[in-house]
Amino acid sequence: MDAAGLPLRSLPRRLRARGWRRPLLALLVVAAGTAILALSGTVAGTDATLQVMGFDPDRSILIAALIAEAIVVALATAGSRAPHASILGGAVAFAVLFGPTFRDETRGALRAHGATGVFDPVGWAATTVTLVVIVLVIGWAAASLALIVRARLLVAWADVVAIRHGDRSPARVVRPGSAVVIAALLAVTLPVFGDMVNFTPDVHMLTGASSNAVGLTQPTTNTVLPSGLTPLPPQVLDQPGIVAPSPGAPGAANPVLSQQRPWQAWHASGTGQVTQVSFKAPWTGGLTNTAEVSIYTPPGYSPRGPHAYPTLYEVPWNIGGWQTSGQLPTILDSLIDAGRIPPTIAVFTAEHGGPYPDSECANSADHREWYESFLTQTVVPYVDHRFHTMATPGARALVGFSQGGFCASMLVARHPDLFHSAISISGYFQAGLRSNETPNAWRPFAGEPALETAYSPLNLVPDLASTVRSSLFFELSASPTASVYGSEYGAFASVLHAADVPVALFPTRLGHSWTACRVQMPQLLETLFAHEAAQGVFG
């Protein structure tokens, strides 16, 4: 008999599996569910959406794999009433989905050395044990909830059977009626919630408007090269190296890089220090009234020493991500200690708290945010006044990842009187780029074509005077095959080459990730300062 007093034979046969059949059914449901989630693109779509939200690829696939595990464990438990087999199957499903990433991370850790750190076997073991525990806890939680829901559905099904046999008492109608109402509510609200997450929370509050909203899962927009420009061949973009100015271009006789390291005579060892400075926020209507700037000073920094310091401006993230995920302060310490780069002041200017999720380092069309003016007219003068810097454009460089890659290149192109070099890691070079990877990039520009053109490095660089172009230097890193960042990387490299601007290419297969930042940063920084040395920045 069931909980409602009806014979079990009135229930569907598949819900009455016994013995070994239940675990087998659970494993089959897990396998089928995992295959459907993977082959339908659900896992990949979740992964991509999380990346757009700001998670790097390793973290996004971890979260997507855990979500998939929870789904298949719940389905298998509900269908088989075999929670242990379902949890075990869910763990295997997680291993299938996340295993390749964990393997690659392990290999990368084993190969690490120098500025990127060294392999820690105890930390690796702790990470592995943590993954196992978390997978089992999530599986247990999903199975427990599934058993509760299953019990309620069985009771509702028993009521349906009783009604079919003539028992139409109010008590029999309530449970299946509630199940139908709940199912209907979910059918209506889940798609709306999906739109709220994909677009904006108010997307359903208006009707009939010509919205500029860009969804997280909207198709990618192709990069458009300026007319008449021939793209660089793929084999050039796939190989690291310097694409130097063509013969006869202004400044082409000067070496792009120097093998000399004049700073080795005066570099120091130790650990750099970080100073936090609060400024009045360069926005109205944001979440905070202040903007935070973190300033790293190198080992041995002296405000009155005989040697001034070059500056590296990171935009537009705060120092937190670069400390934990990018490890930039640690990399700077290591490279400076070894004399591979000069003692350098690094400035981290954050956009957090402003009215736009992504400021694009611009002065917004509605005048609610003025990040560009803040950086160029407030932060740079402040740093030069309070710290012992080389206050020249040749000694100032910008670095950025993702949106920051756009910011670094855009600020150099718009302010060559302040900055001569930019390091762009997985950046893009069209202002207001509408793609599934850049859902908020259009917002500060409000879709105004003239404003987007005025902020697009693809358009700005060719319009610079030849004497200005010859003084600039760009370093580009991206996966050449990536749908957005790869095409943007190729397009901007082509524009720089056609404009006779020296550009160093650093293709990577690590994708749009903090791992790429960590692995490539030492070489990117050494190349930057080799160029500054070639330009006579250090005398």
Which residues of 281-395 form beta strands (DSSP E)? 290-297, 311-314, 345-349
**Full domain range(s) for residue 507:** 234-534
* Claim to verify: residue 155 and residue 283 sit in the same structural domain: no
pLDDT digits (tens, 9 = 90+) for 139-167: 999 999 999 988 888 888 888 888 888 77
> Is the pLDDT confidence value at 190 over 80?
no
What is the pLDDT averaged over residues 331-360?
A: 94
Does residue 190 sit within a domain?
Answer: no
At 211, is the pLDDT very low, low, confident or very high (cuts 50, 70, 90)? very low
Q: What is the DSSP letter of 309?
A: B
In this predicted structure, the answer to whether residue 10 has a pLDDT above a threshold of 50 is no
Final residue before a domain boundary, out of 150, 168, 186: 168
pLDDT tier at 212, thresholds 50, 70, 90: very low
Helix (H), strand (E) counts: the chain: 17, 9
Structure confidence at residue 198 (pLDDT) = 58
Confidence of residue 129 (pLDDT cuts 50, 70, 90): very high
Last residue of some domain: 112, 141, 168? 168
Confidence of residue 252 (pLDDT cuts 50, 70, 90): very low
pLDDT tens, position by position, 415-436: 999 999 999 999 999 999 988 7
Least confident of 66-75, 124-133, 211-220, 477-486: 211-220
Residue 446: per-residue pLDDT = 92
Give CA–CA dist 440/498, Å, rounded: 30
Q: What's the Cα-to-Cα distance from 64 to each of 28, 38, 94, 248, 335, rounded to whole Å?
A: 21, 11, 9, 53, 36
Per-residue model confidence (pLDDT) at position 65? 94
507 and 413 inside one domain? yes
User: What single letter denotes the amino acid at residue 233?
Assistant: P
Please tell me whether residues 303 and 391 are part of one structural domain.
yes
For 389-415, the pLDDT digits (tens) are 999 999 999 999 999 999 999 999 999
In a domain, residue 196? The reply is: no
Asked if residue 378 is part of any domain, the answer here is yes
Mean pLDDT of 308-337: 92
Residues 439/218, Cβ–Cβ less than 8 Å: yes
Per the domain annotation, does 215 fall within a domain? no
The per-residue pLDDT for range 216-238, each reduced to its tens digit, is 555 555 676 777 788 888 888 99
Contact predicate 362/431, CB 8 Å = yes
Structure token pair of residue 404: 């920051």
The residue ranking higher by pLDDT, 231 or 272, is 272
The predicted structure's pLDDT at residue 166: 79
Q: What is the pLDDT of residue 401?
A: 94
Query: How confident is the model over 95-100, as a mean pLDDT?
Result: 92
Mark whether 152 and 277 lie in a shared domain: no
Q: What CATH number is given to the structural domain containing 268?
A: 3.40.50.1820
Place of tokens 């903090």: 514
Q: Does the pLDDT value for residue 21 go beyond 50?
A: yes
Q: Give me the torsion for CA of 387, 388, 394, 397, rounded to 10°.
A: -40
Q: Are residues 135 and 272 in the same domain?
A: no
**In this predicted structure, which of 190-194, 212-216, 369-373 has the lowest mean pLDDT?**
212-216
Q: Is residue 212 part of a domain?
A: no
Q: 512 and 434: one domain? A: yes
Answer with the one of 139, 168, 197 that is the final residue of a domain.
168
Same domain, yes or no: 390 and 290: yes
Mean pLDDT of 271-281: 96
In a domain, 222, yes or no: no
Residues 384 and 300 occupy one common structural domain? yes
Are residue 446 and residue 530 in the same domain, yes or no? yes
Instruction: Please name which of 148, 16, 140, 142 lies closest in space to residue 75, comparing C-alpha atoms.
Output: 142
Distance CA 134, CA 454 (A): 49
Per-residue pLDDT tens digits for 432-462: 998 877 878 999 999 999 999 999 999 999 9
Q: Which amino acid is at 96?
A: V
How far is Cα of residue 333 from the mean position of the Cα atoms in its chain? 25
Query: What confidence category does residue 3 fall into, taking pLDDT thresholds of 50, 70 and 90?
Result: very low
- What number is the average pLDDT over the span 463-479? 95
198, part of any domain: no
- Is residue 203 over pLDDT 80? no
Structural domains in the chain (count): 2
Q: Which position has the token pair 């139908």?
A: 180
* Cβ partners under 8 Å of residue 434, min gap 6: 214, 218, 221, 441, 442
Instruction: Decide if 423 is inside a domain.
Output: yes
